Amino acid sequence: MHRVLIENSGHTFDVRPSQTVLEAAIQAGINLPYGCRNGACGACKGKILTGKVVHDDYQGNALSDAELATGMALFCCARPLEDLVIECRQIEAIQGIKPRILPVRIQSKEQLTDDVMVLQLQLPATESFSFMAGQYIEFLLKDGRRRAFSIANAPHESGFIELHIRLIEGGHFTAQVFNELPVKTILRIEAPLGSFYLREQSDKPIIMVAGGTGFAPVKGMIEHMIFNQSQRPVMLYRGVRHVNDLYMDALCQRWTQFMPNIQYIPVISNGSDQDGWQGRRGLVHQAVLDDYADLSGFEVYACGAPGMVDTAKETFTKQGLPDEAFYSDAFTFAPQ
């Protein structure tokens, strides 16, 4: 067992030999920022001030060799070899919400496009379940693997969890969801997870950038804001390849009709002149750059494929967005 001290907060916690720094912190109720929990997104990056760690496998775009050499680490895959003193990018209390392992029952399945299924999971009636709009769950599969999906509903809609599941080519679990698992199947999840959630203490206007099923957590955040009658301006940019991929388009249109602070800008990247689309075309992050020459007064919430999220961050910060005003959740696919 090794002890970790977070220098900038004074918190300490113990890490068992089988645990990563992040797993132990979550178990101790200490909120380090994180996203994928498998070394792919870089959200959990922090600095080791003293002590040594060994890393499990991770992706080079999440932590470069140069960063590693200066003492940076990915806490989701770093295992201490001795006691540590670390520094973290941020530590925020998520209203005392700790993740738990729960059984859930598939309540309904609705296929909305060729490759998007909306799943409703019923939570145990005896357990209360709290989460922040935008967080995610992980399915705990029988073979020990985990699969992460964002929660698409808002916290006030209790008793169930809505997920938007895209069929991944060669993805065993998503193929099962589409073709096998019937309604009433019981699955196990760990939830809620992740530090991609709506920061409600700010009143800055929000630009939301959602690629594909990255719409799910953004939907949860917007429905949460509507429930709370938030007047913060929200500009929702949704990027999809084809017109047919724009599931729940009517819902987004409806939001704008009764909430004048919400704007909705769908952007199609791979359409053709024959598809009848009258709206914006191109890449979704570019639409934001075209519309806002100065992003310094905004907060951005971005969710989608890692390439889109990385490009958005890089280009938006060049256009004035402060680093700390960019919140993201990149879909990552856990190594098989």
| Residues of the shown chain interacting with ligand FES in the complex, contacts defined by CB under 6 A | 34-37, 39-44, 62, 74, 76
Distance CA 170, CA 333 (A): 11
Q: What is the smallest separation between the CB atom of 35 and ligand FES, expressed in angstroms?
A: 4
Q: What is the smallest separation between the CB atom of 36 and ligand FES, expressed in angstroms?
A: 4
Query: Token pair for residue 204?
Result: 């800055």
Q: What is the smallest separation between the CB atom of 89 and ligand FES, expressed in angstroms?
A: 12
- With CB atoms as reference, the residue minimizing the distance to ligand FES is 76
| CB nearer to ligand FES: pick between 39 and 266 | 39
Query: DSSP letter at 226?
Result: H
Q: What is the smallest separation between the CB atom of 245 and ligand FES, expressed in angstroms?
A: 26
Report CA-CA distances (Å) from 281 to 252, 276, 288, 305: 18, 12, 12, 18
201-204: list long-range contacts, CB under 8 Å, 24+ apart.
Answer: 202/299, 203/232, 204/232, 204/297, 204/298, 204/299, 204/325
| CB nearer to ligand FES: pick between 42 and 266 | 42
Q: What is the smallest separation between the CB atom of 79 and ligand FES, expressed in angstroms?
A: 13
| CB nearer to ligand FES: pick between 34 and 215 | 34
| CB nearer to ligand FES: pick between 75 and 264 | 75
Burial letters 292-301, b for 16+ CB under 10 A, else e: beebeebbbb
| CB nearer to ligand FES: pick between 128 and 336 | 336
| CB nearer to ligand FES: pick between 298 and 326 | 326
Cβ(261)–Cβ(288) below 8 Å: no
Give the CA angle between residues 115, 121, 123 to the nearest 5°: 165
Distance CA 44, CA 34 (A): 4
* DSSP states of 313-336: HHHHHHTT--GGGEEEEE------
SS3 of 242-297: the string is CHHHCCCHHHHHHHHHHCCCEEEEEEECCCCHHHCCCCEECCHHHHHHHHCCCCCC
| CB nearer to ligand FES: pick between 120 and 328 | 328
Q: What is the smallest separation between the CB atom of 33 and ligand FES, expressed in angstroms?
A: 8
Distance CA 60, CA 42 (A): 10
Query: Token pair for residue 24?
Result: 């132990």
Q: What is the smallest separation between the CB atom of 219 and ligand FES, expressed in angstroms?
A: 22
| CB nearer to ligand FES: pick between 22 and 117 | 22
Q: What is the smallest separation between the CB atom of 209 and ligand FES, expressed in angstroms?
A: 19
